[in-house]
Amino acid sequence: MSSFWSWWIIILTVANILGCFWLIWWTMQRQSGEAVQGDVTGHVWDDDLQEYNNPLPRWWLWLFYITLVFGAVYLALYPGLGNFPGLLNWSSQDSQYKAEMAKAEKKYGPIFAQYAAVAITDLASQAEYQEARAMGKRLFLTYCTQCHGADAGGTRGFPNLTDDDWLWGGTPEQIKASIAAGRRGVMPAHAHLGAEQIDEVANYVLQLSGRDADTRKAMAGKQIFLSVGCAGCHGMDGTGNQLLGAPNLTDKTWLYGGSLGIIKQTIGQGRNGVMPPHGDLLGPEKVHLLAAYVMSLSQQ
């Protein structure tokens, strides 16, 4: 921030605090010609409701003063007045955060490192690693519930992690890669097909999953499915491709919903799914532990 704007903020802030002090003091003073305490001011409502000239209670007045003093002291100690860092120099002490993180790492780092040396499949399944799964669950509740839910059951657009249906694969390495590096799934829009052909493809997709569909439309939709690029991602048989995150269309698991209307919407408008990367935030040991917990959910 430039020196000009820094001083602009300082002067305005200090002037406002001093102005509030003066305003409170001035309003409590008796003005010339003003009615004395207890007198009626002359303001009357509803025939008999009158305003009296009574000051605020003293305790209420002191609350105003206390808040102003608190604000002045806070601005003196901490940043808030332009470039002034405060008497405690708090703004330049980001090392305090780093020191706390280093302290936590010293205490808990060896525990995470100990479990990082154990295979994810063992952490996910063996009874002796119950505490490791509990630690993974706490990590999950902190970083993952916003999208996947506290029970990991997911919601529309966010996968259910408690089943055995995986968009990007369910091996330990694939789960770790999903958590650490994130995923970006793109279903391109096919609005160019037009409403009639989108309806036919949607009926074919319904038929792939064993559901009732218009047979004539499904037959026409199959030819479109194989010719316009759908098979390039989902496979000739519609079973999907985990390398691309393309879902299996032959099961009954639907990420965005499986009604005819929603399937048509997905085909026409496309979908964009993003799993943000957590590798830099958590580090490899915590990612390892979190992957073990996620894997354990699908084995229950």
Query: 90-125 pLDDT, tens per residue?
Result: 766 677 778 888 898 899 899 999 999 999 999 999
User: Residue 277 and residue 289: Cα distance in Å, rounded?
Assistant: 15
pLDDT in tens, 181-202: 999 999 999 999 999 999 999 9
pLDDT in tens, 209-223: 999 999 999 999 999
User: Residue 94 and residue 107: Cα distance in Å, rounded?
Assistant: 21
Dig out the tokens for 178 from the structure: 């999903």
- Judged on CB neighbours under 10 Å (0-12, 13-18, 19+), 3 is exposed
Q: In this structure, which long-range contacts are made by residues 214-218, counting pairs with CB atoms below 8 Å and at least 24 apart in sequence?
A: none
Contact 285, 113 (CB under 8 A): yes
pLDDT in tens, 220-264: 999 999 998 899 999 999 999 999 999 999 999 999 999 999 999
pLDDT score of 66: 95
pLDDT score of 32: 46
What residue ranges of the chain are covered by domains with CATH 1.10.760.10? 102-182+278-297, 186-275
Fold of 186-275: Cytochrome Bc1 Complex; Chain D, domain 2 (1.10.760)
pLDDT in tens, 57-89: 888 888 999 999 999 999 999 888 888 888 887
pLDDT > 90: percent of the chain: 73
What is the model's pTM? Answer: 0.69
- Judged on CB neighbours under 10 Å (0-12, 13-18, 19+), 236 is exposed
CATH number of 102-182+278-297: 1.10.760.10
Contact 287, 210 (CB under 8 A): no
